[in-house]
Amino acid sequence: MNMLNVKVNGIAVSVPEGSTILEAARVAGVEIPTLCFMKEKNEIGACRICIVEATGTRGLVTACVYPVAEGMEIKTNTEKVQKARKTTLELILSTHEKKCLSCARSTNCELQKLCLEYGVDENAFEGFKPEYELDLSTPHLVRDNNKCILCRRCVAACNEQFVGVIGANDRGIDTNIGSPFNRLLRDVPCISCGQCTVVCPTGALRVKDDTDKIWDAINDPTKHVVVQTAPSVRAQLGECFDMPIGTNVEGKMVAALRRIGFDKVFDTNFGADLTIVEEANELVQRIQNGGVLPMVTSCSPGWVKFCEYYYPDLLSHLSTCKSPQQMQGAVTKTYYAQKMGIDPKDIVSVSVMPCTAKKFEIGRDNESAAGPGLPDLDISITTRELGDMIKRAGIKFEMLPDEQFDDPLGEDTGAGVIFGATGGVMEAAIRTANAWLNGATEPLEFTAVRGTASIKEATVTVAGTELKVCVASGGSAAKEVMEKVAAGNPNGWGFIEIMGCPGGCVNGGGQPIQPQYIRDTVDLKAVRAKALYDQDKGMTLRMSHENPSIKKLYDEWYTEGYGKGAAHHALHTSYVAREKYPKVD
């Protein structure tokens, strides 16, 4: 590899030929500000914030795309550079809605941070200012183009997901980010993954806030309000309180939820264990009885919606099992309600999820085990929304003691914990299938499906038969895998796990927002997933079917067994082919 010698603010470094000035600066320990840049995803030099002076160039150049040359000397903070960046920020603000005090991203806004650092005059330029109506058409997202700075990060994220339902419309001063023909998001094949919200540097794209619904329910004495938290939330919630990335805060999270006012605090890991025994049983039945293979997991509502839009002819490959969130909700309003002597209509069932698509999932058809008009889940909020609730309640999160989840729906296993990482559902299912069919008594650490690669393949022996499996995460990977299934499954897969978000739930659209610099330089998916695998390794019970509460549930409630009778009615669902671009008035 040919190396080039350059200097950044007088610091000598050697970088590979083809490196950009931004990459050289990072090697030198110098951070150049950016707004539009996303490593390997959105390298377009559009925002002009990263401009620098460099020898051998004519004037200022954009560091994120300009390549270095041998002997180049780069200056990142000259008076000329700082003045140009300040002017650019002031020009951006001239068309930006400056309602920072009421903005969901205030104090965590990359534009706001840079404006403070450069001492900008927010009213330096006055003139034409476009006005846009909010797009509130979906359950998960608010799109506010009044705050958009045209950085196109959201466009890059949507394209990475293959969906590509947003892009630049119109030209010049009228340029705006929107859907084709200015359709509402509900009228395009958006899969509700929320990846656009975690890369937006401002408040132009934000999760629809449902926390007031929860406060209202908690303050209603006639309601019994229960909450469940997804496996990955414990490994990310701490980031909302400036704790190191990947800190497991399970105990403090439980304590905070009790202090907010929930009547019961349950662990979605119980629902994950329940999903595994049902899904493993379904896989075994398909293998033994000539069912549709490969079977594909159905825990990710973003992925399910993706399949309904883009591969409706392959829906029979999806497991009919509800997601852990929905199974937990179904058990809460049936088994738990009966045990506690509570009318299901008086239960408000809440979930805390890493996933914005969960807000869509709770409104799906065939997700009402307790009967018509009684959805399995009433409200779903994201990790970020829970962080906001804790702050609003005045709870000093770091000072909380560690507390335990409530029974009977709080007991879990390590298999449930690893659901939050890509490959976790596959590994958990194989552990149980391996135990049932091979008589294994020790959990199979299926490391071949671990890691953050977008597609992973492996082979495992089940009941003397080799089973080829595949794990994929993210829309583009899902497309690649499903194209092979549609082509006749030449790889011979029998079982496929797909997650809608790259890296799985630990990288969900509802997780804490990290500045793009962190996203570019830290492998968030790997660091966050490690917290889950570490917890799994330290647990006594590590296979879903060993969970005593799961055994008790089937002994007392689902007496006909896995996938049959009451269990099938409450824990399984159906899917529907969706029209990508329906007719609109």
Confidence (pTM)? 0.96
Query: Looking at the chain, which residues constitute the CATH 3.30.70.20 domain(s)?
Result: 93-207
Query: Looking at the chain, which residues constitute the CATH 3.40.50.1780 domain(s)?
Result: 212-571
Hey, what's the torsion of the CAs at 413, 417, 418, 419, to 10 degrees?
Answer: 110
Match 């959105």 to its residue by tokens: 42
**What are the counts of helices (DSSP H) followed by strands (DSSP E) for the chain?**
20, 17
CA neighbor of 91 nearest in space, from 64, 116, 62, 126: 126
Look up residue 46 and give its DSSP letter.
Answer: -
Question: How many CA atoms lie less than 13 Å away from 87 in the CB half-sphere?
Answer: 7
Please provide the CATH number assigned to the domain covering 212-571.
3.40.50.1780
Q: What is the pLDDT of residue 7?
A: 98
* Structure tokens that stand for 177 in this block: 């980010």
Match 């927010």 to its residue by tokens: 122
Main-chain phi, psi angles of 477, to 5 degrees: -65, -40
Query: Looking at the chain, which residues constitute the CATH 3.10.20.740 domain(s)?
Result: 3-77
Scored b (16 or more CB within 10 A) or e, 84-99 reads: bbbebbbebbbbbbee
Main-chain phi, psi angles of 158, to 5 degrees: -70, -40
Q: What is the pLDDT of residue 410?
A: 72
Main-chain phi, psi angles of 466, to 5 degrees: -75, 125
Q: What is the pLDDT of residue 463?
A: 65
The matching CATH number, chosen from 3.40.50.10190, 3.30.70.20, 3.40.640.10, 3.30.70.360, for 93-207 is 3.30.70.20
DSSP string of 483-506, one letter each residue: HHHHTT-TT-EEEEEEESSTTSGG
CATH topology of domain 3-77: Ubiquitin-like (UB roll) (3.10.20)
Averaged pLDDT in 10-residue chunks for the chain of 585 residues: 95 98 97 97 96 95 98 97 98 95 96 97 91 97 97 98 96 94 96 98 98 98 98 97 97 98 96 94 91 95 98 98 97 96 98 98 97 97 98 98 89 88 92 84 86 94 83 97 98 96 96 96 95 93 91 95 96 97 86
Tell me how far CA of residue 299 lies from CA of 64, 254, 315, in angstroms.
38, 23, 14
